[in-house]
Amino acid sequence: MAFLGVERSLTGRCWVGPDVETDRAAEAMAQSIDLPRPVAQVLARRGVPQEEARGFLQPQLKDLLPDPRRLRDMEAAAARFVAAVRGRQRIAVFADYDVDGGSSAALLLVWLRQMGLAATLYIPDRIDEGYGPNEPAMRDLAARHDLIVCVDCGTLSHEPIAAAKGADVIVLDHHLGGETLPPALAVVNPNRQDEDGELGYLCAAGVVFLMLVEVRRQLRAAGQAPGPDLMAMLDLVALATVADVAPLIGANRALVRQGLRVMAQRQRPGLVALADVARMDAAPNSYHLGFLLGPRVNAGGRIGKADLGARLLATDDPVEAQALADRLDQLNTERREIEEAVRAAAMAQAEERGLDAPLVWAAGDGWHPGVVGIVASRLKEAANRPAVVIGLDGDEGKGSGRSVSGIDLGAAIQRLATDGLLIKGGGHKMAAGLTVARDQLEPAMARLSDLLARQGAGAMGPADLKLDGLLMPGAATVPLIEELERAGPYGAGAPAPRFALPDVQIRYAKRVGASHLKLSLSDGMEGRLDAIAFGAFDSDLGPRLETHGGARFHLAGRLEINTWGGRQNVQLRLEDAAEA
């Protein structure tokens, strides 16, 4: 039964509220442990038992951090790393060009620098070299180093790692593993085929952090100083976890919560400079990491020099940090322009092909490989289907895919690579990359569509709007939002709470820019609330609310604290509406 009777909203969605069992659990929790009802609703939706509620609201890293030795090859990897540090050996860090790779590399570079060692950073060029280790680069690094640590890559790099003659190779990764492992000294990856998958939610920076925890343990066991303060490095782990869309469950939740506290202290020059160019004027939260900082760190790997992001995160020089942040901000603006052109062409092509197939895909000549992943995300959101976008160049195409909950895209793409329909491909459940021959494009996409249909992708309807419950405008206060934040952080696998405001009157509506709408709301009594609807005029939402004519509406969205001129007030980030 549709929540508030909304079967089709102004954006075409059905509203779905909590089921009876969740509602009852929330009511019992609110009464027994004296929690605000909206907070109890969020906890009940997350499946938190009543007896664990207080602990959930105060997650402690010491309680949630797994034993690093649960992961295969961890002891061997840490022991080889410790030996390299003790022997003052030459160490190279080979990283992916995204935020997770850059953060993972920065963790190692900063840790080693504080131990008096300067490591070599190598990040491949997205266009010239592609993702992951390649034979020429690994051969060259091996000739000049004793140890190569591959972060956020390497699990499927059999030939490139075999080419690293004369150097030991450690892989610290989280991408889906194949049936066989590359010839590295150690492959630490919670998504290896022979792992139980319980820690599969970790991003690469989380795996690197666990290795440094094990390194600290081994140093202590040998009677040596344990090395740098790892807690002070959690800002990098938090950034990577959120930006890589890793689910905020288990240890990730505590890592991000503590990492945000560290980031708020503004001790890392690169993140301080980046926050300033992004005009962040409040304490950092998951939104800032995912939508303000992450895209800027990524911009270097997408359309600029691949190592800019990692260098920014690793530097201890404020002057260098400012220069790198300015450059990344500029590149991010350029990326947006390139992305918009590709998005428009890809959307038109996908719509012509049909948005109701198990797979939504588009391919075009000259589409920049640095933006195809973002455009795939846009197609996925529009169709509620897995999406793949491919940029063609000559006889080959390089593409990226994004999936929806419940559909394992990485496994399907890896199957295509095994079957020979792709030159290469891999990833994880929600995101994957691929390289395909132009003459195999159509059969590869047809086969991928078939594999995804078997997982149920073709049976999905438009995404319903899931709501945590009802809230009156007068109840939306700063203290309530602060209480709701204790149930966070929010992100992938832990969506921010979304509430319905029933039978609301619009007192004021004004268009802002090309597509946004600013509103002032009233419940007809004392309750008042400001709202902002971004992209409202991309659907029927903006035009109908702007010309409301005194009609009353059910509104749905997320609450946030808006800071302006040193004052705080509550704002509704409006996502949907329906006539009451």
Domain ranges of the chain: 3-17+467-579, 20-58, 64-329, 354-459
Query: The tokens 């990856």 sit on which residue?
Result: 189
**Contact, 521 vs 529, CB < 8 A?**
yes
- pLDDT band, very low/low/confident/very high, at 538 (cuts 50, 70, 90): confident
Model confidence at 206, in pLDDT bands (50, 70, 90)? Answer: very high
Mean pLDDT of 425-444: 93
Structure confidence at residue 427 (pLDDT): 87
- Only one residue has tokens 């402690």, namely 60
pLDDT at site 68:
98
| pLDDT above 70 as % of the chain | 99
Write down the CATH number for the domain with range 64-329. Answer: 3.90.1640.30
What is the reported pLDDT for 261? 96
Residue 577 in tokens: 């509406």
CA distance 284 to 22: 31
State how far the alpha carbon of 422 is from the alpha carbons of 240, 302, 380, 387, in Å.
28, 22, 21, 16
Other Cβ atoms within 10 Å of 281 Cβ, number: 9
For residue 57, which amino acid is it?
L
Question: Does residue 375 have a pLDDT over 80?
Answer: yes
Fold equal for 3-17+467-579 and 64-329: no
pLDDT in tens, 514-537: 889 999 999 877 778 999 999 899
Q: What are the pLDDT digits (tens) for 234-258?
A: 999 999 999 998 999 999 999 999 9
Q: What residues contact 91, with CB distance under 8 A and at least 6 apart?
A: 84, 112, 117, 119, 120, 145, 146, 147, 148, 149
Q: What is the mean pLDDT of the chain?
A: 94
DSSP codes of every residue in 298-317: HHHHHHS-TTHHHHHHH---
**pLDDT tens-place string over residues 284-324:** 999 999 999 999 999 998 888 899 999 999 999 999 999 99
Residues 177-181, mean pLDDT to the nearest whole number: 93
Tokens of 383: 């169709």
d(CA 185, CA 147) in angstroms, rounded, equals: 10
Where do the DSSP E strands lie in 281-375? 360-365
Burial of 31 (0-12, 13-18, 19+ CB in 10 A): exposed
| Structure confidence at residue 462 (pLDDT) | 67
Pick from 249-253, 340-344, 455-459, 461-465: least confident: 461-465
For 100-159, the DSSP string reads HHHHHHHHHHHHHHHTT--PEEE---TTTT-SS--HHHHHHHHHH-SEEEEES--TT-HH
Q: 3-17+467-579, what's its fold? A: OB fold (Dihydrolipoamide Acetyltransferase, E2P) (2.40.50)
Confidence of residue 405 (pLDDT cuts 50, 70, 90): confident
Per-residue pLDDT at 144 exceeds 80: yes
Mean pLDDT of 363-391: 94
Residue 415, number of CB atoms within 10 A of its CB: 16
Q: Could you give the CA distance from residue 481 to residue 560 in angstroms, rounded to a whole number?
A: 7
Distance CA 355, CA 377 (A): 14
Residue of 99, 112, 554 whose CA lies nearest to 309:
99
Cross-strand bridge partners of residue 188: 172
* pLDDT score of 107 more than 80: yes
Q: Are 65 and 251 in contact (CB under 8 A)?
A: yes
CB contact at 8 A, 123 and 92? no
Q: State the average pLDDT over residues 361-372.
A: 95
CATH code assigned to 354-459: 3.10.310.30
> Taking the model in full, what pTM does it have?
0.89
